[in-house]
């Protein structure tokens, strides 16, 4: 706070604090508190709201645990979101290292511009574009058939393949930029010293670069995982009849069944269980919140 006061003065600091407080209170805290309170109340006709039947209970939460199908969908959502996170790391790490330590500094603005271009298009349009690309008679199968790599068209939009492709494409930049920031702060002399001592390239990455990039890996992984778990547009547009995402179940409770009470309970279960899962993974890999906040 003292730094803000010294840098911007009392007036601007007060405005910043007021706007931040308003955003957190009115757009984050209060809506979530409203949903949390509704998650304990039963779904009733309007005339019966506030009546003797409108009592607090855990029935909405028990609905989830009494449904094997919903539990299965949740487990698959967690597993495939974890796989999306791993794929994003495998794709983003070489790119981040190239941008941070190999690429010409004069080319960086152009390269970053090319990376940012997809973000200028809405997620809906990007998902629709991937639906066209992955279609049975779409451009991807046309190119693969023309090059002789496949003998018959591949049904890409089946199972969770289409969803994973769409999620990786949508959220890979959320892994790339934290990794780039972490690797950029590494002194290049340490890499050169390891090379001079005869270390192979894989050992340099394993013993020098990856440990230094730990905060970026942790931050990017948490963002990609949580965004993937909570995604609704990509699974809706690219999922098949044999794949469902947990957010689709929440959407069905709220907008198709008009049962916001059960939908709120499912939403908070998703938040709580994902937080527990992320906390356990952080403990296994010995990552702290301070690493993510760096």
- Report pLDDT for 292: 61
- Report pLDDT for 24: 86
Residues contacting residue 89 through CB under 8 Å, at least 6 positions apart: 175, 179, 217, 220, 221
Residues of the chain with pLDDT under 70: 1-8, 285, 289-294
Q: Is residue 59 within 8 Å of residue 49, measured between CB atoms?
A: no
Q: With the C-alpha atoms ordered 268, 269, 272, 275, is the resulting torsion angle positive or negative? A: negative
- Report pLDDT for 224: 92
Let me know if domain 68-293 sits in CATH 3.10.129.10.
Answer: no
Residues contacting residue 267 through CB under 8 Å, at least 6 positions apart: 35, 39, 250
SS3 letters for the chain?
CHHHHHHHHHHHHHHHHHHHHHHHHHHHHHHHHHHHHHCCCCCCCHHHCCCCCCCCCCHHHHHHHCCHHHHHHHHHHHHHHHHHHHHHHHHHHHHHHHHHHHCCCCCHHHHHHHHHHHHHCCHHHHHHHHHHHCCCCCHHHHHHHHCCCCCCCCCCCCCCHHHHHHHHHHHHHHHHHHHHHHHHCCCHHHHHHHHHCCCCHHHHHHHHHHHHCHHHHHHHHHHHHHHHHCCCHHHHHHCCCCCCCHHHHHHHHHHHCCCHHHHHHHHHHHHHHHHHHHHHHHHHCCCCHHHHHC
| pTM reported for the whole predicted model | 0.85
Q: Is residue 238 within 8 Å of residue 16, measured between CB atoms?
A: no
- Report pLDDT for 56: 87
- The residues spanned by each domain of the chain are 68-293
- Report pLDDT for 86: 94
- Report pLDDT for 112: 87
Residues contacting residue 65 through CB under 8 Å, at least 6 positions apart: 71
From the CB of residue 89, how many other CB atoms can be counted at a distance below 10 Å? 18
Of 218, 216, 231, 261, the residue nearest 78 (C-alpha): 231
Instruction: Report the alpha-carbon distance of residue 122 to residue 118 in Å, rounded.
Output: 8
* Cα 263 to the center of its chain, rounded Å: 21
Q: Is residue 62 within 8 Å of residue 262, measured between CB atoms?
A: no
- Report pLDDT for 126: 85
- Report pLDDT for 294: 58
pLDDT tens by residue, 185-239: 888 888 888 888 888 888 988 888 888 888 888 888 888 999 999 888 888 888 8
- Report pLDDT for 290: 64
pLDDT tens by residue, 242-271: 788 999 999 988 888 888 889 999 998 888
Residue 199: left (phi > 0), alpha (psi -120 to 50), or beta?
beta
């Amino acid at each position: 706070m003292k730094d803000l006061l010294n840098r911007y003065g009392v007036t601007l600091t007060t405005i910043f604090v007021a706007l931040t407080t308003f955003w957190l209170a009115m757009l984050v805290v209060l809506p979530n508190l409203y949903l949390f309170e509704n998650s304990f109340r039963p779904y009733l006709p309007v005339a019966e709201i506030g009546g003797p039947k409108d009592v607090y209970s855990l029935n909405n939460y028990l609905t989830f645990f009494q449904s094997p199908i919903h539990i299965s969908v949740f487990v698959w959502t967690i597993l495939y979101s974890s796989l999306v996170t791993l794929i994003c790391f495998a794709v983003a790490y070489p790119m981040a290292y190239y941008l941070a330590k190999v690429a010409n500094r004069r080319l960086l603005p152009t390269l970053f511009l090319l990376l940012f271009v997809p973000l200028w298009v809405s997620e809906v349009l990007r998902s629709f574009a991937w639906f066209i690309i992955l279609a049975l008679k779409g451009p991807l199968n046309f190119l693969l058939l023309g090059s002789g790599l496949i003998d018959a068209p591949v049904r890409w939009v089946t199972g969770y393949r289409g969803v994973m492709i769409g999620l990786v494409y949508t959220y890979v930049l959320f892994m790339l930029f934290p990794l780039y920031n972490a690797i950029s702060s590494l002194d290049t002399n340490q890499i050169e010293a390891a090379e001079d001592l005869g270390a192979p390239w894989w050992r340099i990455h394993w013993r020098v670069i990856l440990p230094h990039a730990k905060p970026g890996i942790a931050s990017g992984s948490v963002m990609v995982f949580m965004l993937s778990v909570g995604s609704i547009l990509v699974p809706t547009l690219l999922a098949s009849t044999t794949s469902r995402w947990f957010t689709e179940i929440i959407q069905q409770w709220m907008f198709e069944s008009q049962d916001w009470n059960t939908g709120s309970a499912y939403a908070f279960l998703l938040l709580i269980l994902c937080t527990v899962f992320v906390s356990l993974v952080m403990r296994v890999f010995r990552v702290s919140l301070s690493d993510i906040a760096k």
